[in-house]
């Protein structure tokens, strides 16, 4: 039987499961189970988005004050969209929560 290279998390998980010791080596089995769980969690987080996308979304949840420009218009501090007349507590352009 020839071995093949593991190219992604799914193949790594399957390889670990297929080569799991069946008796003895309790610490090794527990460690491999933890590794499988960690890889599966990473896959779930990747479905949500990248780390940068998640950080950006979290930052938008913090209330920020509108910025008043010299002409008196009020703009989103995140994307600079004009929110003068809208009266919303969320920027309609980028979703930033506003005070």
Per-residue pLDDT tens over the stretch 16-65: 888 888 777 888 889 999 999 999 998 888 888 888 888 888 888 999 99
Rounded CA separation 92/60 (Å): 12
The pLDDT, as a whole number, for residue 1 is 56
pLDDT-derived band at 8, boundaries 50, 70, 90: confident
Burial class (CB in 10 A: 0-12, 13-18, 19+), 32: middle
pLDDT-derived band at 79, boundaries 50, 70, 90: very high
pTM for the model stands at 0.49
């Amino acid at each position: 039987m020839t071995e093949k290279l593991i190219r992604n998390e799914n193949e790594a998980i399957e390889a670990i499961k297929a080569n799991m010791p069946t008796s003895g080596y309790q610490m090794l089995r527990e460690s491999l189970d933890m590794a499988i769980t960690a890889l599966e969690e990473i896959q779930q987080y990747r479905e949500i988005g990248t780390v940068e996308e998640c950080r950006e979304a979290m930052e938008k949840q913090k209330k920020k004050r509108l910025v008043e420009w010299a002409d008196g218009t009020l703009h989103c501090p995140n994307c600079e969209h004009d929110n003068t007349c809208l009266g919303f507590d969320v920027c309609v352009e980028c979703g930033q929560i506003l005070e």
